[in-house]
Amino acid sequence: MQNTGQEKRPKVSVIVPVYNTEKYLRKCLDSLLNQTLAEIEIVAVNDGSTDSCGEILEEYKKAYPEKVVVIHKKNGGQASARNLALGVCTGDYIGFLDSDDFVREEMFEKLYRKAAEQNCDYVACGYTDITYRDGKEVVLEPYVASKVAKQTKDMFFGGLASPFLHLYKREIMVRSGVTFPEGYIYEDTAFYLNLIPHVKKLGVIEEALAVRLRHSNSTMATFKKERVRHIFPVLKTSIDYYNEHGFREEYRKELEYFCVRILLCSSLQRVSKVGKFGDACELVKETLAFIRQHFPDYRKNPYMKHGKLSLYMKGINKVTAYVVLVLFRITNRFKREYT
């Protein structure tokens, strides 16, 4: 398609990493093409899919050449696909969407409008959690969202790291140089955490504008010891980033709280779902060792003074951690048997 100079610069670029999701890909792409925001660019990266995803992407590129950019690459993981797309995006703001998820038709217009009107560096929204049973869509949670944040430090507390809920100003992403650490799962956590110090103006829309699909073969549903262990190098990536870029002192207490909460809450939940009990115990030991090494005095953190969550985290030690592990595993078994 010849460039006539009349095309409008995209207001939003949406990055879509694609890997073997032929069953859901069309719905994902259609949800983006049907956005009420007209000036949108879709940058889809085929990460070495072995199904028909490549052909589907080429079909959409041919049908919508002014909106769809397609990149084909060897399989390298979701982080490498997103990083490659970051260098291609031309929109004023950048969003993300996984190829098995979809969004409400007004999502990016609402996010962009808030960002543009308030000159935000970052805007977040909520999502609906669904699955499919017998071919029918089943809502697991109708509304999941980050807590309303008014200033940068608020992003450390109750924020959801998943990038499909966020819109970032492209300028701060280019200036910061923040990318997704490659070779790991949970790379979203480091990306979110490392961008926080660069966000000076932010906003939250309290609506479920995105829809996330939960299915049995997703990375977050596969709890293998080696994959769950990825949380340690991912968090170390952020600790190093804060040290190397001079953010550690300003955000010391917030970074400590964020990392310890991740390790003792969501990560410990995943540890409890590892198949072999011995492997799970090994991961608990590594979790406690990581905290001792990087955050030995976390119980003195001023953010740990109030609330049941803080009481729980302060109560974790080399004995109670294994008690919690056993309780989590019993709960997991009960849920499997009775739901």
Among 124, 128, 167, which Cα is nearest to 146's? 124
What pLDDT score was predicted for residue 216?
55
What pLDDT score was predicted for residue 338?
58
Q: How many CB atoms lie within 10 A of CB 123?
A: 25
> pLDDT, tens digit, for every residue of 315-338?
999 999 999 999 999 998 877 665
Among 107, 84, 81, 93, which Cα is nearest to 18's? 81
> CA-CA-CA-CA torsion for 102, 60, 77, 101, nearest 10 degrees?
10
> pLDDT, tens digit, for every residue of 183-239?
999 999 999 999 999 999 999 999 999 999 987 544 444 489 999 999 999 999 999
Which residues lie below 8 Å from residue 233, measured CB to CB, with a gap of 6+?
Answer: 181, 184
Average pLDDT over residues 7-19: 92
Long-range contacts, 195-200 (Cβ 8 Å, 24+): 195/122, 195/168, 196/152, 196/155, 196/156, 196/251, 197/152, 197/242, 197/245, 197/247, 197/250, 197/251, 198/121, 198/172, 199/121, 199/122, 199/152, 199/155, 199/172, 200/121, 200/152
CB 124 within 8 A of CB 93: no
What pLDDT score was predicted for residue 237?
97
Long-range contacts, 8-11 (Cβ 8 Å, 24+): 8/39, 9/39, 9/90, 9/91, 9/92, 10/39, 10/40, 10/41, 10/90, 10/91, 10/92, 11/37, 11/39, 11/40, 11/91, 11/92, 11/93, 11/112, 11/116
CA distances for 179 relative to 80, 83, 174, 239, angstroms: 9, 6, 10, 15
Query: Could you tell me what percent of the chain has a pLDDT over 70?
Result: 95
CA distances for 160 relative to 115, 126, 134, 146, 288, angstroms: 18, 9, 30, 5, 24
Residue 197 has which token pair? Answer: 């110090």
Whole-angstrom distance, CA of residue 262 vs CA of residue 253: 14
Whole-angstrom distance, CA of residue 293 vs CA of residue 286: 10
> pLDDT, tens digit, for every residue of 265-320?
999 999 999 999 999 999 999 999 999 999 999 999 999 988 999 999 999 999 99
Angle at 57 between CA 56 and CA 59, to 5 degrees: 65
Average pLDDT over residues 79-88: 97
Angle at 190 between CA 12 and CA 296, to 5 degrees: 150
Q: In the Cβ-directed half-sphere of 178, how many Cα atoms lie within 13 Å?
A: 26
Q: Which residue has the higher pLDDT, 222 or 68?
A: 68
Residue 52 has which token pair? Answer: 């028909």
pTM for this one? 0.92
Q: Considering just the CA atoms, what is the radius of gyration of the chain in Å?
A: 21
CB 37 within 8 A of CB 30: no
Query: Could you tell me what percent of the chain has a pLDDT over 90?
Result: 87
Q: In the Cβ-directed half-sphere of 216, how many Cα atoms lie within 13 Å?
A: 3
Give backbone dihedrals phi and psi of 233, rounded to 5 degrees, phi first: -65, -30
What pLDDT score was predicted for residue 339?
53
What pLDDT score was predicted for residue 6?
43
Average pLDDT of the residues of the chain: 93
CB 123 within 8 A of CB 202: yes
What is the bridge-based pairing of β-strands 40-47 and 68-73? parallel
User: In the chain, what are the domains?
Assistant: 12-216 (3.90.550.10), 223-338 (no CATH)
Whole-angstrom distance, CA of residue 128 vs CA of residue 145: 9
Q: Which residue has the higher pLDDT, 145 or 170?
A: 170
